[in-house]
Amino acid sequence: MSSTACADTLPCSGHSAQCGPIFVDNYKVFASTERLVIRRFRAQDAEAFAAYRSDPLVARFQSWEAPVPVVEAARQVARFGAGSPSVPGWFQYAIELRSAGALVGDVGVQLHDNLMQAEIGFTLAPAHQGKGYATEAVRAVLDLLFGAGILRVSAECDARNSASARLLDRLGFRREGYRVEHTWIKGEWTDDVLFGLLARDWR
Ligand SMILES: CC(C)(COP(=O)(O)OP(=O)(O)OC[C@H]1O[C@@H](n2cnc3c(N)ncnc32)[C@H](O)[C@@H]1OP(=O)(O)O)[C@@H](O)C(=O)NCCC(=O)NCCS
């Protein structure tokens, strides 16, 4: 499944902290794939966002608590929509399913202060899992990141989160480490698996 980066992402010609990736932010769509649109969040996404983030199974290995009230979702979606993918910190890309014209998930990217590395996370609404959409969306976002000059993308997941680990394996992430009882989440210590992918290993 190929993705097409839109004209709002300009590759950087160099790899220095001064230069960094340049994302031109004037358009709401960042990338299109066969089945998905990767776009900026908008106010109308609040209900769908609240619905999938409120599912206890979706929240199980994540930092937020379910349920997520629509009012809180509206606040978060407004913040995501106003964010910028080109400055250090988290930016959330909305995943829209073309056939439904609706939000089905999100891909979060934390751009490092050095503008050369990033961390990635992803969430898909349960009704749309098991169809390859998350892999397709993350692949498109990785295309954007590596195309913009990012040199390394990291990810980590709870060791019990096998769907997440399979996705990262599929995309070619290297398993780089295992941290025993590293994260306190939802009342227990959990093990983390660490993943990494270098630009030179990205096809
Ligand atoms: C992590 C998460 C996004 C993975 O979702 P997913 O639906 O399993 O991943 P994809 O959308 O890429 O789908 C891949 C699955 O669809 C299957 N599939 C079915 N039809 C397919 C198609 N046409 N194309 C590609 N894959 C297809 C694949 O075989 C694969 O199944 P497998 O993992 O059992 O081998 C999802 O479990 C989730 O949102 N979890 C909650 C949030 C979370 O924990 N996020 C990760 C934090 S680290």
Residue 160 CB–ligand 1 contact under 6 Å: no
**Nearest residue by C-alpha to atom 16 in ligand 1:** 130
Tell me if 114 sits within 8 A of 160, measured CB to CB: no
pLDDT category of residue 5 using cuts at 50, 70 and 90 = very low
Give the Cβ contact number of residue 100 at 10 Å.
Answer: 11
Distance in Å, CA 168 to ligand 1 centroid:
10
Structural domains of the chain, with CATH: 4-201 (3.40.630.30)
Residue 134 CB–ligand 1 contact under 6 Å: yes
Residue 3 CB–ligand 1 contact under 6 Å: no
Tell me if 77 sits within 8 A of 49, measured CB to CB: yes
pLDDT tens string 128-177: 999 999 999 999 999 999 999 999 999 999 999 999 999 999 999 999 99
pLDDT at 163: 98
**Confidence (pTM):** 0.91
Distance in Å, CA 134 to ligand 1 centroid:
6
Q: Which residue is associated with the tokens 């892999």?
A: 135
Burial class (CB in 10 A: 0-12, 13-18, 19+), 139: buried
Choose which residue among 35, 38, 164 to substitute to test ligand 1 binding: the one with the highest number of ligand atoms within 8 A of its C-beta.
164
Would you state the structure tokens that stand for residue 154, as one six-digit string?
């990291």
Q: Is the peptide bond before 85 cis (omega within 30 degrees of 0)?
A: no
Residue 79 CB–ligand 1 contact under 6 Å: no
pLDDT at 98: 96
Largest CA distance in the chain: 46
